[in-house]
Amino acid sequence: MPEPKSAFDATYPCDFYEPADLFEPDQMYTIPEIGRLLQELEPDAEVDPDTEAVLIDWAIPWVVAHAEDMVVGEPLEEDGPGYYGVAPHAIDAADGTDDPA
């Protein structure tokens, strides 16, 4: 059910990161790690299972929305997670270069 804005003590801008701002260019991350990064936590920060579920719920649509600026790595183990990183063209766009490498 919608709530009036007056019900909240404060509201904040809805700012989201771009992959080039969030990821280290030479690193690949799992969905749970991306969820932590989106909340300004370290990728390996300990969180309780309920919090991790919420972080994953936030991370999945963020990955889908930014797919064109990301690369995907196959799982390192047969039953392991997939990994995601920033695409080279997104890094170049973020730093103002036109190098497609």
Nearest to 24 by CA among 91, 101, 96, 95: 91
What does pTM read for this prediction? 0.80
The pLDDT-based confidence of 94 (bands split at 50, 70, 90) is low
Instruction: Indicate the DSSP class of residue 16.
Output: -
User: What Cα–Cα distance (Å) separates residue 76 from each residue in 28, 29, 55, 65?
Assistant: 11, 12, 22, 24
The pLDDT-based confidence of 75 (bands split at 50, 70, 90) is very high
User: What Cα–Cα distance (Å) separates residue 81 from each residue in 5, 10, 30, 31, 90?
Assistant: 39, 37, 6, 8, 23
pLDDT tens string 17-57:
899 999 999 999 999 999 999 999 999 999 999 999 999 99
